[in-house]
Amino acid sequence: MSGAQSHDGADPQRLNATHDPALKSWVAAANRPGGDFPIQNLPFGVFRRAGTPEFFRGGVAIGDQILDLGALHELRQVSGSAADALAACTEPTLNTFMALGTDAWSALRAALSRLLREDAKEAPTLRSALVAQAGAEFTVPARIGDYTDFYASIYHATTVGGLFRPDNPLLPNYKWVPIAYHGRAGSIRVSGQEFRRPQGQVKAAGAECPELAPTRRLDYELEVGVFIGTGNALGHPVSMDRAEQHIFGLCLLNDWSARDVQAWEYQPLGPFLAKNFATTVSPWIVTLEALAPYRTPWSRPAGDPQPLGYLDSPQLRQSGAIDIQLEAYIDTAQMRAAGTPSHRLSHSSFRHSYWTVAQMIAHHTVNGCNLEAGDLLGSGTQSGPGADEAGSLLELTVSGKVPLTLTSGETRAFLADGDRVTLRGWCEKPGYARVGFGEVAGTVLPFIQDPKSDQNAK
Active site residues: 156
- Please, are residues 352 and 157 in contact by the beta-carbon 8 Å criterion? no
Beta strand spans in 362-434 (E): 376-378, 404-405, 411-412, 420-427
DSSP one-letter code for 324: -
Please name the helix (run of DSSP H) or strand (run of DSSP E) that holds residue 212, with its range, or none.
Answer: strand 211-214
Handedness of CA 127, 132, 137, 139 (dihedral sign): positive
Alpha helices (runs of H) in 89-196, residue ranges in sequence order: 95-99, 102-116, 123-126, 154-164
- The β-bridge relationship of strands 279-281 and 247-254 is antiparallel
- The β-bridge relationship of strands 257-258 and 218-219 is antiparallel
Listed residue (95, 103, 93, 116) closest to 39, CA to CA: 116
CA–CA separation, 90 and 214 (whole Å): 42
In the three-class reduction of DSSP (H, G, I as helix; E, B as strand; rest coil), residue 55 is classed as coil
DSSP one-letter code for 285: B
Across 408-445, b (16+ Cβ under 10 Å) vs e yields bebebbbbbebbbbbbbbbbeeeebbbbbbbbbbbbbe
In the three-class reduction of DSSP (H, G, I as helix; E, B as strand; rest coil), residue 323 is classed as coil
Long-range contact pairs involving 330-333 (C-beta distance under 8 Å, separation at least 24): 330/406, 330/412, 330/415, 330/419, 330/420, 330/421, 330/422, 331/419, 331/420, 331/422, 332/406, 332/408, 332/410, 332/412, 332/416, 332/418, 332/419, 332/420, 333/417, 333/418, 333/419
- Please, are residues 325 and 291 in contact by the beta-carbon 8 Å criterion? no
Handedness of CA 131, 136, 142, 148 (dihedral sign): positive
- Please, are residues 148 and 157 in contact by the beta-carbon 8 Å criterion? no
CA–CA separation, 345 and 191 (whole Å): 18
